[in-house]
Amino acid sequence: MSKAEKTKQFIIEKTAPVFNTKGYISTSLSDIAEATGLTKGSIYGNFENKEEVALAAYRYNAGSLKEKMISSFSDKFPASIDKLYAFVAFYRENWQSVFLSGGCPLMNAATESDDTFPDLKNLVTQSFVEWISKISSVISDGQEKGELNKKPDAEEYASLFIMMIEGGILLSKTTGDEKFLNLALDHILRIIEVEFIPEEKQKN
């Protein structure tokens, strides 16, 4: 990486948690300068404006979550049902780090991604589409292999799981009580066990 590229990456990494905690619209240029220790001139030398920094910070935050989440679907879980269990376990085991970093970056950005910041809205929409697609592909793959019941609609249930998790995160983050996220995760597990595991395997 060139010196300019390193500086740009430094700004992104230092400001990403600030944007996620304080908000992509509320975070000011002064906040960026304080987080990086750089002058406003240096920041503008690497980014056209604050909005460009915000978009880069969102990509970083969402990318970090995506990388960690995808690792829960790793090859050490060849069976689709185990991948779904691992997906649930990921949020069970990482809720504290998610909360300490300001909450789910997708949900946080989604609350601000209205018509006043359409570029951010487009990125958030893309993130949710990719997330739904990833979970849906795990379900579809298991259905094609005969590991999971074929009746449930993969995309519909993937969307449902995301809605439940995001709702659980929102309530737990707001109240400071993890029980709401755990309640959502427990319900997802029951859905998996009742609706996705074939009856002959449930009996075993």
Q: Is the pLDDT of residue 204 over 60?
A: no
| Domain 1-60 CATH assignment equals 1.10.10.60 | yes
Q: Is 168 exposed, middle or buried (0-12, 13-18, 19+ CB in 10 A)?
A: buried
User: For position 116, what pLDDT does the model report?
Assistant: 78
Give the pLDDT mean for 44-72: 91
Give the pLDDT mean for 135-156: 95
CA 153 to chain centre: 22
Q: How far apart are the first and last CA of the chain?
A: 55
What's the mean pLDDT when you consider all of the chain? 90
Q: Is the pLDDT of residue 134 over 70?
A: yes
Q: Is the pLDDT of residue 181 over 90?
A: yes
Q: Is 151 exposed, middle or buried (0-12, 13-18, 19+ CB in 10 A)?
A: exposed
User: For position 94, what pLDDT does the model report?
Assistant: 83
Rg (CA), the chain: 19
140, HSE (Cβ side, Cα atoms, 13 Å): 11
Give the pLDDT mean for 183-188: 97
> pTM for the complete prediction?
0.88
| Cβ–Cβ under 8 Å, residues 14 and 43 | no
**Domain ranges (residues) in the chain:** 1-60, 72-203
User: For position 203, what pLDDT does the model report?
Assistant: 55
Q: How far apart are CA 194 and CA 20, in angstroms?
A: 36
Q: Is the pLDDT of residue 66 over 70?
A: yes
User: For position 13, what pLDDT does the model report?
Assistant: 95
Superfamily grouping for domain 72-203: Tetracycline Repressor, domain 2 (1.10.357.10)
Q: What angle do CA 164, 169, 170 make, to 5 degrees?
A: 100
Write out the two tokens for 29. 């240029």
pLDDT in tens, 5-36: 999 999 999 999 999 999 998 999 999 999 99
Residue at token pair 């779904």 = 84
